[in-house]
């Protein structure tokens, strides 16, 4: 811990009157961290997939389903052609081994201001809210989530969970990434005359490719 952080935390302790934490308090805190108690969660009336699609579409997201990961490049191609988008894409490096058609111009790197389309993999999908969880890594820089106007997200069936608490349970089984982004639909704002505008602070188009089998 560096000196600046020590100073900040010590000042917080003094303002709260915590110059020293008792052994009993430490014991309670450790037990709480170890148990990860989950509080009451809403019941989902639909199956996970139906609920996820319903919630995703309510926030202007779209989805199509494919049976196998080998079909991902062709699902991407079909979506881009449908919307008259360029085939120059910036892609999550974990998708490098897929059979991408030669007509694509693919870059495996962080997104830049000039990029129009990004494709990356979700750590999880949350049926409760229609949200997607994306983790930063060397393979999948966070810029892929925010700079291009069109964001295509690959979600595998076994990564779909009911509630957000399950995401944190899975995250605790691995090293915590630098950044966890929870994305619900395309970027939007109603700051201007209370009218919804897409793409204000990030992608204006978000499409999920749901993969039944990896």
pLDDT for 124 beyond 80: yes
Domain-located, residue 41:
no
Rounded Cα gap, residues 161 and 126, in angstroms: 5
pLDDT for 36 beyond 60: yes
Q: What tokens appear for 24 in the block?
A: 């009993």
Q: What is the mean pLDDT of residues 196-209?
A: 74
139, 93 contact by CB (below 8 A): yes
Domain-located, residue 191:
yes
Domain-located, residue 31:
no
Domain-located, residue 158:
yes
Rounded Cα gap, residues 29 and 26, in angstroms: 5
200: containing domain: 48-213
CATH number where 118 lies: 3.40.50.10420
Using a pLDDT cut of 70, give the percent of the chain over it: 92
What is residue 199's predicted lDDT score, i.e. its pLDDT? 45
Q: How do strand 131-135 and strand 124-126 relate by DSSP bridges? A: antiparallel
Please identify which residue in the block is written with the tokens 């991407």: 76
Confidence of residue 200 (pLDDT cuts 50, 70, 90): low
In Å, how far from its chain's centre is CA 169? 16
Stronger pLDDT, 135 or 14, i.e. the higher one: 135
Domain-located, residue 10:
no
What is residue 57's predicted lDDT score, i.e. its pLDDT? 96
What is residue 51's predicted lDDT score, i.e. its pLDDT? 97
Domain-located, residue 155:
yes
Domain-located, residue 138:
yes
Question: Does the pTM of the predicted model rise above 0.95?
Answer: no
> How many domains is the chain partitioned into structurally?
1
Question: What stretches of the chain show up as alpha helix (H) in DSSP?
Answer: 3-16, 23-35, 48-58, 72-82, 164-171
Domain-located, residue 123:
yes
Q: What tokens appear for 128 in the block?
A: 């409760």
């Amino acid at each position: 811990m560096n000196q600046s952080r020590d100073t900040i935390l010590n000042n917080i302790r003094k303002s709260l009157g915590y110059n020293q934490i008792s052994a009993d308090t430490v014991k309670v805190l450790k037990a709480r961290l170890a148990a990860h108690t989950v509080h009451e969660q809403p019941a989902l009336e639909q199956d996970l997939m139906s609920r996820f699609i319903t919630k995703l579409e309510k926030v202007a997201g779209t989805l199509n389903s494919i049976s196998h990961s080998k079909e991902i490049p062709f699902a991407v191609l079909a979506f881009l052609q449908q919307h008259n988008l360029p085939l120059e894409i910036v892609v999550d490096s974990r998708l490098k081994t897929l059979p991408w058609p030669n007509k694509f111009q693919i870059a495996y790197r962080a997104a830049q201001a000039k990029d129009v389309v990004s494709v990356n993999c979700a750590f999880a999908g949350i049926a409760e809210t229609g949200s997607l969880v994306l983790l930063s890594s060397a393979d999948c820089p966070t810029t892929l989530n925010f700079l291009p106007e069109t964001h295509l997200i690959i979600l595998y069936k076994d990564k779909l969970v009911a509630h957000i608490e399950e995401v944190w349970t899975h995250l605790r089984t691995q090293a915590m990434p630098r950044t966890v982004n929870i994305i619900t639909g395309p970027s939007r704002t109603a700051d201007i005359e209370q009218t919804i505008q897409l793409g204000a602070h990030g992608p204006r188009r978000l499409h999920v490719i749901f993969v039944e089998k990896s």
